[in-house]
Amino acid sequence: MVAQTTVPAIAIHDLHKHYGSVTALSGIDLSIQRGQFFGLLGPNGAGKSTTIHILTGLVTLERGSVDVFGHDVVRDYRYTRRAIGLAPQEFNFDRFFPVREILELQGGYYGVPKRRAARRADELLELFGLASKADDKVHKLSGGMKRRLLIAKAMMHEPEILILDEPTAGVDVELRRTLWTYLRQLSEQGTTILLTTHYIEEAEALCDEVAIIDCGRIVAQGSPQHLIETSGGRHLEIVLTEPPTDGLPAAITSRDYVLDGARLIVTADRPRQFVAEALQALYEAGLMINEVRIVESNLEEVFIQLTERAKKGESHAV
C-alpha cells in the first residue's frame, strides 16, 4: 500500500467540461499536496468555479478524473465530500438563525454527534473571533463576521481540505487582510487549502503554490516566486552620466537592449548575476554610470502576460 503522505490531497487529471456549446474546462491537470496552501488564479470565466464544483460534487465531470486522497470523487463521493469543506462565494445561511445554531446544524448535517458539534462550534467561534456573537442572529453580524462564519461553517465537520471560492470577492482591503490572517491560521494548523481568486495580490500573499488558469486550461503552475522567475520579464536599467558616443560594449550589444539617450535597458535572465559583468564592461568602455536598477516583474505582470497568451491560443508551457 502506498503511504498516505505520498498521496496528493487533490489530484486532477485531464478534466474536461462543457456547458452546452461553452467549453468551461479543456484538460486540467493539477496536483495539490497535503498541507499546501494552493491558489487557483484566473480571470472571470476562466473555469475556477467549475473546477471546484466538480471537486465538491456540485457539477458532474465529463472526461478525466478527480481524486481526493486517492479516492475518486464520483465513485467514492461519500468519502471525498467528507474530506472537503466548501466555503462558497455567497452566504448560505438563514439570516434569522443564531450563529452557534448555524454551526451546530451544519455539524448535524455531517453526522457529528451533538456534544462533539457543540465543542467544535465553540472552538471555531473562538478561532474566528466570533465567540461574543455566538447567540446573535446572523443578520446582526457585520459583513466581515459573516464571511468568517461562512468559513467556520465549512470547517465544522473537521475536513482535511478547505476549498474557498473567491473568499474575498467584493470585500474591502482591510477586511480582506483580516480574513487572510484567519486563513493563515487554518493553514498553520495543517488544513490543506485550495482557494480560487482573481486577486493576484491574494495569491501572492497566501499561497505557497499557484496555478494560473485561463480559457479552461492551466497556463502555468509553481510558487509565486518560481512563476515570476520563469515567466516574468527581468532587466537591468542603467542610467549613464551621458549618452554614449562610441557605441556600447559587446557584453551589452550581444543581448536584447534598448538605448534611449543615456538610459540603457538590458534584458537578462539573471539580472543580479549580470550586473557586475555589465558594469565592468561599461567601465572598461569609458562610460560612467549614474544609476543601476534591477527590474523584475511581479506576479500581476506574469499573470497578464500568460493570460493574454492563452487568449491568443499560443501553446502553454506548464
Residues that bind ligand ADP (CB under 6 A): 19, 22, 24, 42, 44-50
Residue among 53 and 120 whose Cβ is closer to ligand ADP: 53
CB of 106 to ligand ADP, least distance (A): 24
Asked if 61 and 84 count as a contact pair (C-beta separation under 8 A), the reply is: no
Quick one: 27 or 70, whose CB is closer to ligand ADP? Answer: 27
DSSP states of 161-194? EEEEESTTTT--HHHHHHHHHHHHHHHHTT-EEE
Q: Which residue, 30 or 238, is less far from ligand ADP as judged by CB?
A: 30
Q: What are phi and psi of 258, to 5 degrees?
A: -130, 130
Q: How far is the CB of 62 from ligand ADP (least distance, A)?
A: 12
Q: Which is nearer to ligand ADP, 204 or 214 (CB)?
A: 214
Contact at 8 Å (CB) between 163 and 11?
no
Q: How far is the CB of 273 from ligand ADP (least distance, A)?
A: 38
Among 277, 280, 275, 309, CA closest to 293: 275
Which of 36, 51 has the CB closer to ligand ADP?
51
Task: For residue 76, give every residue at least 6 positions away whose Cβ sits within 8 Å of its Cβ, in sequence order, or none.
Answer: none
Asked if residues 103 and 95 have their Cβ atoms less than 8 Å apart, the reply is no
Please identify, using beta-carbon distances, which residue of 49 and 168 lies nearer to ligand ADP. 49
Q: Which of 29, 64, 73, 60 is nearest to 161 (CA)?
A: 73
In the complex, the smallest distance separating the C-beta of residue 125 from ligand ADP, rounded to whole angstroms, is 30
Of 194, 172, 197, 173, which is closest to residue 183 (Cα–Cα)? 194
Cα separation, 216 vs 18, in Å, equals 10
Shortest Cβ distance from residue 49 to ligand ADP (Å)?
3
CB of 44 to ligand ADP, least distance (A): 4
